[in-house]
């Protein structure tokens, strides 16, 4: 009596009908009945392992990138956190900045335009007041025969008259106070005591306030006089820039 399977060809299981196929198998069963359990081919197992490893690697990469973004977004400057997307400002040390209230220069108006100082001088110099008189709004003043702000009206003794324009008929006033008046003092004097013709003689040292046709204020200090309409009167003159109430 021979053992089961003896003498049978390799790989066929002898008389019991064994038939081992595939890379690996397990044999179970009884009563000469064989049930073979075959393992998955290595190629399929390797693909599963490789796929799982790729998933793990991808997840790890994404997490690393997210963490790197958090670290860069939370970078700090000088001990203070800088919000993501903000450009850090340069750190400057050792430089003193004057307070805004102490900084010099003309102040800005609500519209953002720098306002000119009310006492800013537009022009200063010597003018001749003769039959042709100065137009004080021009820079420098021009000599005009008709559009003049002040003129020589009479000679021997010399007396002055104001603008030719009927819209500015009382634009002269003699300053009799101490010293030389400022813009506001001259403007107030002409507004309250202005005349069209000065009835008193002008002499060396006479101070006259003038409102120009353009609404500016000027002050004239007579430096020399004559009895000639051609030579006229010479005066040291200051014209302020601010214009108001002009015609």
DSSP, residue by residue, 154-187: ETTTTEEE--S-TTS---EEEE-SSS---HHHHH
Instruction: Please report whether residue 81 resides in a domain.
Output: no
The band of 50, judged by pLDDT with boundaries at 50, 70 and 90, is low
For residues 141 and 65, state if they share a domain. Answer: no
62 & 136 share domain: no
Q: Of 45, 69, 93, which marks where a domain is finished?
A: 69
Phi/psi of residue 47, nearest 5 degrees: -65, -40
Last residue of a domain, one of 69, 88, 105: 69
Neighbours of 154 (CB within 10 A): 15
* pTM assigned to the model: 0.54
User: Is the same domain home to 224 and 133?
Assistant: yes
Residue 26: CB partners within 8 Å, gap ≥ 6? 36, 37
Secondary structure of residue 38 in the 3-state scheme:
strand
Q: Decide if pLDDT at 223 tops 80.
A: yes
Same domain? 64 vs 134: no
Cβ proximity of 164 and 148 under 8 Å: yes
Residue 213 and residue 136 share a domain: yes
* Residue at 75 is within a domain: no
Domain of residue 219 covers 121-240
- Quick one: pLDDT band at residue 117, thresholds 50, 70, 90? confident
Taking alpha carbons only, the member of 157, 159, 137 closest to residue 148 is 137
Q: Are 128 and 231 members of one domain?
A: yes
Q: Are 228 and 127 in a shared domain?
A: yes
Pair (52, 128) in one structural domain: no
User: What's the domain count of the chain?
Assistant: 2
Q: Give a yes or no: residue 223 inside a domain.
A: yes
Least trusted range by pLDDT, from 21-35, 57-71, 196-210: 21-35
Between 214 and 104, residue with greater pLDDT: 214
The reply to whether 220 falls in a domain is yes
- Residue owning tokens 């002050």: 219
Mean of the per-residue pLDDT values of the chain? 73
Tell me which range, 53-57, 77-81, 198-202, is most confidently predicted by mean pLDDT.
Answer: 198-202
For residue 106, tell me if it sits in a domain.
Answer: no
Residue 95 domain flag: no
Same domain, 137 and 60: no
Residue 214: inside a domain? yes
Q: Which of 214, 204, 222, 205 is nearest to 239 (CA)?
A: 214
Distance in angstroms (rounded) separating the CA atoms of residues 190 and 83: 63
Q: Decide if 56 contacts 41 (C-beta within 8 A).
A: no
Task: Give percent of the chain with pLDDT exceeding 70.
Answer: 52
Is 19 part of a structural domain of the chain? Answer: yes
Indicate if the alpha-carbon torsion angle 138, 142, 145, 151 is positive or negative. Answer: positive
What pLDDT is stored for residue 141 in this prediction?
97
Reported as a single tens digit per residue, the pLDDT across 162-195 is 987 777 889 999 999 999 999 999 999 999 999 9
């Amino acid at each position: 009596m021979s053992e089961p399977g003896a003498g049978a060809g390799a790989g066929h299981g002898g008389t019991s009908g064994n038939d081992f196929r595939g890379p690996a198998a397990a044999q179970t069963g009884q009563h000469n009945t064989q049930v073979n359990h075959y393992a998955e081919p290595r190629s399929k197992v390797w693909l599963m392992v490789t796929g799982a490893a790729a998933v793990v690697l991808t997840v790890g990469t994404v997490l690393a990138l997210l963490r790197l973004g958090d670290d860069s977004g939370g970078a700090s400057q000088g001990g203070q956190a800088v919000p993501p997307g903000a450009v850090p400002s340069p750190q400057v040390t050792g430089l003193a900045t004057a307070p805004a209230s102490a900084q010099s220069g003309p102040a800005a108006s609500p519209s953002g335009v720098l306002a000119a100082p009310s006492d800013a001088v537009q022009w200063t110099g010597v003018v001749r007041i003769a039959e042709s008189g100065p137009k004080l709004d021009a820079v420098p003043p021009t000599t005009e025969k008709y559009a003049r702000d002040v003129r020589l009206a009479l000679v021997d003794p010399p007396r002055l008259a104001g603008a030719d324009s009927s819209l500015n008929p009382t634009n002269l006033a003699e300053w009799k106070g101490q010293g030389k008046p400022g813009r506001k003092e001259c403007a107030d004097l002409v507004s309250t005591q202005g005349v069209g013709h000065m009835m008193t003689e002008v002499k060396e040292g006479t101070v006259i306030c003038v409102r120009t046709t353009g609404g500016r204020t000027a002050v004239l200090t007579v430096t020399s006089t004559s009895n000639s309409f051609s030579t006229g009167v010479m005066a040291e003159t200051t014209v302020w820039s601010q214009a108001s109430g002009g015609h």
